[in-house]
Amino acid sequence: MILCLILISCNRNDYKRSDLPAQEVQELIQNFRGDIGVYVKDLVTGAELEVNADTIFPTASMVKIPILVKIFDKIEQGELDYQMEMKYGPEPEYEYSGDIISNLIPGTEVALSELIHLMMSTSNNTASLWNQYLAGKGTEINSWLENNGYVFTRVNSRTEGREEDFQAYGWGQTTPREIAGLVEGIFKGEVVSKTASEQMYRIMSRNFWDGEALSQLPPTVNVASKNGAVRASRSEVLLVNAPSGDYLFSVITKNQGDTGYEYDNEAWVVIRKLSSLLYNHFEPHSEWTPDKELKKYHQ
């Protein structure tokens, strides 16, 4: 049994990773009705594939990654405690009607750890705005981003001086390269601290919204991800711990012609196809395919 495992490991190490599928990606997105940006990185070879990778796009809910980072920065500095209990207000700074947290009875105790998981897994907006407030609002989050080399990624909503950016991009803005780079830094233990990065990566590996890019990956493969959606923009960033080696990709759209929220929204179709294309590229010998019946859980 030990010999067998060693042989399997050797075979994986001997696997030759070919060039990234640039032509296939171009063919996939060429008829998209709107603007689209794609960034892919093979974390084994360092090879990159770029399409509008440095163009600014709306983050939608991907803005919750920078919020998460600054929350953990505050935790590491001793200003917040991961398990601290707080009482729900609501307060104008984080009130957002229509979700689970906003329906709590005022005075209900909520742990910061729960707010973080709700923000990242289910993308709860009240929890996210509350976390943004606790992180020092958009001003402190943006300061951390600037100080750590992120030129374009910013929080706009409820942030003084960013009213025009909010009108243009909504809650936040980023580029495919920068948001992917932030996730890569978390994976490598380089964001805030090694300990904080590890916990953030665990949290990002539990995504409730698994009907798009995640649906094209085997459920046995660990993936850290965050996605977002507003009417004219869809986005997703993933770091895939694939059997043959890790890879990373982000895809973001804006000015979409298809602004609906149906399962077959044009951008979501492209995101699924891109995820499938990349997994099959990196795992050419995989026999796994998504079960077509799973579609009923996402319509």
pLDDT band, residue 44 (cuts 50/70/90):
very high
pLDDT recorded at residue 90? 78
pLDDT recorded at residue 2? 33
Amino acid letter, residue 53: A
pLDDT band, residue 3 (cuts 50/70/90):
very low
pLDDT recorded at residue 1? 30
The pLDDT mean for the chain works out to 93
pLDDT in tens, 183-221: 999 999 999 999 999 999 999 999 999 999 999 999 999
pLDDT in tens, 128-155: 999 999 999 999 999 999 999 999 999 9
pLDDT band, residue 91 (cuts 50/70/90):
confident
pLDDT in tens, 270-282: 999 999 999 999 9
- What 3-state class would DSSP assign to 295? helix
pLDDT recorded at residue 16? 64
pTM of the model: 0.94
pLDDT recorded at residue 12? 44
pLDDT band, residue 96 (cuts 50/70/90):
confident
Sort 244 into a burial class: Cβ within 10 Å, 0-12 / 13-18 / 19+: middle
Q: Which of 225, 212, 250 is nearest to 51 (CA)?
A: 250
Terminal Cα-to-Cα distance of the chain (whole angstroms) = 44
In this structure, of 30-34, 93-97, 200-204, 236-240, the range with the lowest mean pLDDT score is 93-97
**Which is it for the CA torsion 234, 235, 240, 245, positive or negative?**
positive
pLDDT recorded at residue 95? 75
Q: Are 268 and 216 in contact (CB under 8 A)?
A: no
In this structure, of 2-11, 39-48, 289-298, the range with the lowest mean pLDDT score is 2-11
Amino acid letter, residue 67: I
Q: Are 221 and 210 in contact (CB under 8 A)?
A: no
In what helix (H) or strand (E) does residue 282 lie, and over which residues does it extend? helix 266-282
Q: Token pair for residue 3?
A: 């010999």
pLDDT band, residue 9 (cuts 50/70/90):
very low
pLDDT recorded at residue 94? 80
Q: Is residue 266 predicted with pLDDT exceeding 70? A: yes
pLDDT band, residue 93 (cuts 50/70/90):
confident
